[in-house]
Amino acid sequence: MPNTSSTENHQGANPRSSARRRRGGSIGLVDAKAAVDLATAQSYTENVFLFIPNLIGYTRVLLAGLSLHFMSYHPKYCTLLYVISCLLDAVDGQAARALGQTSKFGAVLDMVTDRCTTSCLLCYLSSAYPDYAILFQFLIALDFSSHYMHMYSSLMTGSRSHKLVTSDVSHILWLYYNDSRTLFFFCAGNELFFVSLYLMKWIKTPIGLPILDSLTYAEAMAWISGPVFIGKNVINVVQLWKASKILVGVDLAERAKVREEKEKEKSK
């Protein structure tokens, strides 16, 4: 038999009426066809694609693309464009909250842009430092897997945002996501470390100070940001492990429910 509620949505019922609540009303679930219809019919005054924070997100993508274009032959343009793209990451979130234009699309766009931009730089570093290519490949895999599993575990437990982590789940992730200054510090320090490695291939002039006579500016930045880079990837490991445990817990709960339903069927 056809699903009645799905049929009603497809025949023109208000798509918003198909939303249902889950996990104490923390997230609304909408039929996929209804969501597509809403996105197609959205007006100019309420067009999520044109929200100011999302326009900033598109700008980040454009700047990152231009940065990659210059990466192999113009380090100044590359670094400037890359840094601006990264700094705009802090601006779009503030704009979203100030303008009341937070959106799931914007949150995912932001995360995807971060992951892809950093991964492209790491791909270049793999060719610039072939002896460490396996390390850069590992960092790409860790970054993508930890964020994907964290995002998916957040959706499975009904959270409105992957940044809403409670301290009883993980004190480390709670400190990381619930303080914007901490989040910016680790993200910016991690990117600074990678940019420093990139610039080390181009800058060969020592600083010239008595204590740092043999170091270049790029090498000095790498040494300063190195501990932050290590801390950021420790957080990625914690995020991956906690997300894995959450998903396993969901599996166990669902399997227990299935067994319970089977036992009820047998007892009838």
Rounded to whole angstroms, how far apart are CA atoms 86 and 97? 19
Whole-number pLDDT of residue 9: 41
Check residue 160 and give its pLDDT: 82
Would you say residue 259 lies in a domain?
Answer: yes
Inside any domain, residue 196: yes
Is pLDDT larger for residue 84 or for residue 16? 84
Per the domain annotation, does 238 fall within a domain? yes
Q: Residue 247 domain-assigned?
A: yes
Identify whether 117 is part of a domain.
yes
Residues 6+ apart with CB under 8 A from 96: 51, 52, 53, 102, 103, 106
User: Do the domain assignments include residue 116?
Assistant: yes
Specify whether 168 is catalytic.
no
Domain assignment present for residue 241? The answer is yes
- Give the tens place of pLDDT for each residue, 138-158: 999 999 999 999 999 998 998
Q: Using one digit for the tens of pLDDT, what is the confidence trace for 223-267? A: 999 999 999 999 999 999 999 999 999 999 999 999 999 998 888
Domain range for residue 116? 47-157+167-267
Q: Which of 114, 143, 213, 251 is catalytic?
A: 114
CATH code: domain of residue 181: 1.20.120
- DSSP calls for 179-228: -HHHHHHHHHHHHHHHHHHHHHTT---B---STTTT-BHHHHHHHHHHHH
Concatenated DSSP letters of 33-88: HHHHHHHHH--GGG-GGG-HHHHHHHHHHHHHHHHHHHTTT-HHHHHHHHHHHHHH
Residue 130 burial (10 A CB sphere; 0-12, 13-18, 19+) = exposed
pLDDT tens by residue, 89-130:
989 989 999 999 999 999 999 999 999 999 999 999 999 999
Q: Looking at the domain assignment, is residue 137 inside a domain?
A: yes
Per-residue pLDDT tens over the stretch 178-197: 998 999 999 999 999 999 99
pLDDT of residue 29: 65
Closest by CA position to 20, among listed 11, 10, 7, 30 = 30
Q: What is the pTM of this model?
A: 0.85
Task: Give the pLDDT band (50/70/90) at residue 28.
Answer: low
Return the pLDDT at 109. 95
Would the pLDDT of 20 be above 50? no
3-state secondary structure 123-176: HHHHHHCHHHHHHHHHHHHHHHHHHHHHHHHHHHCCCCCCCCCCCCCCHHHHHH
Quote the number of domains for the chain.
1
Cα angle for residues 40, 45, 46 (degrees, 5° grid): 50
pLDDT of 45 strictly over 80: no
**Which tokens belong to 180?**
């914007």
